[in-house]
Structure 1
Amino acid sequence: MYRITKEFHFSASHQLSHLPDDHQCARLHGHNYIVVVELASADLNADGFVRDYAELKPLKTYIDEVFDHRHLNDVMDTASTGENMARHFYDWCAARWPETTAVKVSETPKTWAEYRP
């Protein structure tokens, strides 16, 4: 199996107001997010790629236009946890690129959430 990944970055604020008031994530705060999309295939295309990295530019455009420097509570239909964001980006990518196998989202250098069906 061949696997490729591409990383995207954005900054945004959010607030997990469903958490207790004394939980740090219940307060308004922000992160420098990293989104990593993974695609896999048993075979390569005629150019020798799982998929040309340039074909993933629509994800950068989507992130820049919808998520970057936004308040995620205004953007997401679900709680803006890393886990929900990973699923959101997975669904968005899989609808465009059937080779999508996973998406990871980082809120901090030490934390990652991943969605992999």
Structure 2
Amino acid sequence: MYRITKEFHFSASHQLTSLPREHQCARLHGHNYIVQVELSARELSQHGFVRDYHDLAALKHYIDETLDHRHLNDVLGNDHVTAECLAKHFYDWCKAQLPETSAVRVSETPKTWAEYRP
């Protein structure tokens, strides 16, 4: 299996309102998110690619126009905007556009990652 990844960055706020009030993540706060999208294929294209990296420009546009410097609870319309939920959100978005999507990882901090892989 061939695999490629591409990384994207954005900054946004969120609030996990279902947590107890004293929990730090229940307060409004933000992160510098890193999103890694993985695409996989058993065979390469006629050009030797899993997928041309340029084809992921639509994801960069989506992130920049929809999520960057926004409040994610408002954008995504829910109170469970965790890294895990974001990984699934990005996976679903990418899979609809890029069938080779095999996993998405999201980082909120330099030491933490959440991954969605069906």
User: TM-score normalized by structure 2?
Assistant: 0.97
* Distance across 2 between alignment mates of 1:5 and 1:57: 13
Mapping of 1:1-117 within 5 angstroms? 1-78=1-78, 79-117=80-118
SS at 1:73 equivalent:
helix
* Distance across 2 between alignment mates of 1:27 and 1:6: 31
Equivalenced residues, count: 117
* Distance across 2 between alignment mates of 1:23 and 1:58: 36
Instruction: Compute the RMSD of aligned alpha carbons.
Output: 0.6
* Distance across 1 between alignment mates of 2:81 and 2:92: 15
| Structure 1: 4+ residue segments shifted above 2 A | none
Unaligned ranges ≥5, structure 2: none
* Distance across 2 between alignment mates of 1:89 and 1:2: 21
The letter of the residue matching 2:65 is E
SS at 2:47 equivalent:
coil
The letter of the residue matching 1:110 is K
Identity value in percent: 72
Residue by residue over 1:16-68, the C-alpha shift from the partner in whole angstroms, topping out at 9 and shown as x without a partner, is 01100110100010000000000000100011000000010000000000100
